[in-house]
Amino acid sequence: MIELLVVIAIIGVLSSVVLASLNTARQKSRDARRIADLKQIQLALELFYDASRSYPTALNTANLVTLGYISTVPTDPLSTTGTPIPYQYAALGAGTTCSSYHIGATLEGGTSHSALTSDADAAAGAICDTSAADFAGTDPIYDLKP
């Protein structure tokens, strides 16, 4: 009977170690997807800019999907089907001319994530033709600008 309890205790300890490692791997996977999504959105924004000489005022289906620059506008991996969480986006410029943008996502890995050494860490800019405010680009936000 004691041997059986020891075996069950060992299995319990091993399973808790595996589950802890699995959660860390899931976080890293979601962070990698966020970074890839932002790069994909950045490419679609550059295609939009090449065609119209201005960036869109919002990341939405009408601006990017309908015009064929991207198949779907990605959302955060923690989004559920009923409530998609969009990535942070601000069109920057003066008046109706959006000459730049600021896009970002908060990473789960915290400030120690290696991708944060190569992001923009941009300060808030002048918003172009919208009522929303630009977000601060401090870590752990992975942010990009053109």
pLDDT (tens digit, 9 = 90+) per residue, 133-146?
Answer: 778 767 788 888 88
CB-CB contact of 146 with 100 (8 Å): yes
- Give Rg (Cα) of the chain: 21
The model's pTM: 0.82
Q: Which of 7-16, 31-40, 63-72, 86-95 comes out lowest in average pLDDT? A: 86-95
Across the chain, which distance is largest between two alpha carbons, in Å?
78
